[in-house]
């Protein structure tokens, strides 16, 4: 029991300094303030994850799917929506750029690091590819649908309210289908198992308190973390756009990533990969879909969409292109070492490419630096997608079956 309770205690303790910082109104320099508030979000994310697991024992399946999906993206949502709200309240500021940076970074990290790590760990552990269940074709299909629509944003140059409605509609359609799947016994582990073993009334109270506390910590820490992260970049002379794009999502994505690794180490690679696939779908529909709505409310109208410059549009195109290749690779409902290495190398290449070019003193015809390199990798993702689709054309065509509810064979 002590081993199961220890992570719960540690996660709670980690949230307290950041919560104290918010409630006390104490003023720290940006780096330690960003660290404490970031750790608070990290600890609260673990608490949310365990609460989500236990909640599925006590609420209807349809409601569980919707609630868990919403709560799963809450840490990422809190930070991104703060930037979006500030963008609406402060026209002409950099907040709109930060909102896009945070969203694109989170989505690319999931595929480039989390997905590939699960495939690599499973391969080294068992010598086999990761295989998804047949009914998870639904997630792959809807991720493909959201990705296909996402290309319209950089093409038309805006993320408007009607784009948000499309993304949310895709998510709602997915939830409707997923809710028709047969119920399964949920397997709890660690702190979730400890809470799940409580008597029914106490379990529900404990779960509700975890939800409320964790959500409160995340919402209270979002502003502190976001503002001090940007300020820390200025203190250290680091591009704040890059900090927001990569460091902020790590705090919110880490708990789910760690849990997925635990699943794959226990031989449950399909569960691990399925959870990360669902997370990617939720972020690529719900998170993106909420941005124009929040911006419209903050700015007082929906006539003008979130302002996006060429750099942000290229970042969106790159993120959509990566997702497109990932969908094609996963069309066969499996992910092997070759595909994982390809996704990781492409992700790593777009990160280090600008620095390599700068060191070699190479100038690209369409622009040097991060933006120029990212345009190269965007084209590379699209070319690779075309090749993979041709090689897996039957599997890609079979994705249409994802709109049907299939019985899972265990």
CB-CB contact of 247 with 231 (8 Å): no
Task: Tell me, yes or no, whether 406 lies in a domain.
Answer: no
**What is the reported pLDDT for 62?**
47
- How far is 373 from 16, CA to CA, in rounded Å? 41
What is the domain-level CATH number for residue 291?
A: 1.20.1420.30
Which whole number is the average pLDDT over 309-325?
93
pLDDT tens for residues 101-158?
A: 989 998 999 999 999 999 999 999 999 999 998 888 999 999 999 999 999 999 999 9
pLDDT at 59 over 70: no
Examine residue 87 and state whether it is found in any structural domain, yes or no.
Answer: yes
Cβ–Cβ < 8 Å for 73, 287: yes
> Do 53 and 186 meet the contact criterion of CB atoms below 8 Å apart?
yes
Name the residue among 353, 329, 355 with its Cα closest to residue 343: 329
Give a yes or no: residue 182 inside a domain: yes
Q: How many domains does the chain have?
A: 1
> Which structural domain, as residue segments, surrounds residue 15?
2-400
Q: Is position 386 within any domain?
A: yes
Instruction: Please compute the mean of the pLDDT values over residues 6-10 and round it to a whole number.
Output: 89
Mean local confidence (pLDDT), 191-207? 86
37 belongs to a structural domain = yes
| pLDDT tens profile 156-171 | 999 999 999 999 999 9
Place of tokens 């997370």: 279
Any domain includes 201: yes
Structural tokens at position 56: 């599925």
Q: Which of 166-170, 186-190, 251-255 has the lowest mean pLDDT?
A: 186-190
Q: What pTM, to 2 d.p., does this model score?
A: 0.85
What percentage of the chain exceeds 90 in pLDDT?
40
Give dist(CA 83, CA 261) in Å, integer. 30
Q: Is 255 left (phi over 0), alpha (psi -120 to 50) or beta?
A: alpha
407 belongs to a structural domain: no
Per-residue HEC secondary structure of the chain comes to: CHHHHHHHHHHHHHHHHHHHHHHHCCCCCHHHHHHHHHHHHHHHHHHHHHHHHHHCCCCCHHHHHHHHHHHHCHHHHHHHHHHHHHHHHCCCCCHHHHHHHHHHHHHHHHHHHHHHHHHHHHHHHHCCCEECCHHHHHHHHHHHHHHHHHCHHHHHCCECHHHHHHHHHHHHHHHHHHCCCCCCCCCCCCHHHHHHCCCHHHHHHHHHHHHHHHHHHHHHHHHHHHHHHHHHHHHHCCCHHHHHHHHHHHHHHHHHHHHHHHHHHCCCHHHHHHHHHHHHHHHHHHHHHHHHHHHHHHHCCCCCCECCCHHHHHHHHHHHHHHHHHHHHCCCCEECHHHHHHHHHHHHHHHHHHHHHHHHCCCCCCCCHHHHHHHHHHHHHHHHHHHHHHHCHHHHHHHHHHHCCCCCCC
Query: What is the mean pLDDT of the segment spanning 8-29?
Result: 90
Q: Tell me how far apart the terminal alpha carbons of the chain are, to the nearest angstrom.
A: 30
Instruction: Look at residue 409 in the predicted model and tell me its pLDDT.
Output: 47
For range 172-178, the mean pLDDT: 86
Give the range among 224-233, 247-256, 329-338 with minimum mean pLDDT.
247-256
Q: What is the mean pLDDT of residues 236-245?
A: 82
User: Is the pLDDT confidence value at 4 over 60?
Assistant: yes
- Average pLDDT over the chain reads 85
pLDDT in the model for residue 345:
95
188 vs 26: CA distance, rounded Å: 39
Residue 408 in any domain: the answer is no
Spatial CA neighbour of 109 closest among 284, 356, 262, 303 = 284
């Amino acid at each position: 029991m002590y081993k199961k309770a220890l992570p719960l205690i540690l996660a709670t303790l980690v949230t307290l300094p950041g919560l104290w910082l918010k409630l006390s109104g104490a003023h720290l320099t940006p780096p330690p303030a960003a660290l404490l508030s970031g750790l608070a979000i990290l600890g609260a994310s673990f608490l949310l994850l365990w609460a989500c697991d236990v909640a599925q024992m006590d609420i209807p399946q349809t409601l569980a799917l919707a609630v868990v999906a919403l709560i799963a993206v809450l840490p990422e949502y809190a930070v991104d929506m703060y930037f979006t709200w500030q963008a609406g309240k402060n026209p002409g500021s950099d907040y709109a750029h930060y909102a896009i940076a945070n969203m694109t970074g989170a989505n690319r990290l999931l595929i480039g690091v989390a997905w590939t790590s699960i495939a690599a760990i499973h391969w080294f552990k068992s010598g086999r590819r990761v295989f998804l269940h047949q009914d998870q074709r639904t997630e792959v299909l809807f991720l493909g649908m959201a990705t296909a629509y996402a290309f319209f944003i950089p093409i038309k140059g805006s993320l408007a309210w009607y784009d948000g409605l499309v993304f949310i509609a895709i998510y709602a359609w997915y939830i409707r289908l997923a809710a028709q799947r047969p119920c399964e016994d949920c397997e709890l582990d660690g702190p979730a198992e400890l809470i799940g073993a409580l008597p029914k009334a106490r379990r529900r109270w404990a779960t509700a308190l975890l939800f409320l506390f964790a959500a409160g910590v995340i919402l209270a820490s979002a502003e502190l973390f976001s503002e001090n992260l940007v300020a820390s970049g200025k203190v250290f002379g680091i591009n704040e756009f890059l900090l927001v794009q990569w460091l902020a999502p790590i705090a919110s994505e880490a708990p789910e990533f760690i849990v997925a690794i635990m699943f794959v180490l226990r031989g449950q690679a399909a569960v691990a990969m399925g959870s990360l696939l669902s997370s990617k779908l939720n972020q690529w529909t719900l998170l993106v879909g909420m941005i124009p709505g929040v911006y419209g409310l903050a700015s007082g109208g929906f006539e003008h969409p979130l302002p996006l410059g060429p750099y942000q549009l290229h970042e969106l195109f790159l993120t959509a292109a990566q997702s497109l290749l990932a969908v094609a690779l996963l069309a066969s409902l499996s992910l092997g070492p070759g595909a994982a290495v390809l996704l990781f190398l492409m992700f790593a290449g777009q990160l280090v490419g600008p620095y390599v070019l700068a060191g070699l003193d190479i100038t690209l015809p369409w622009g040097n630096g991060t933006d120029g390199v990212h345009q190269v990798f965007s084209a590379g993702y699209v070319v690779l997608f075309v090749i993979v689709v041709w090689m897996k054309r039957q599997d890609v065509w079979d994705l249409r079956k994802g709109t049907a509810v299939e019985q899972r064979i265990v």
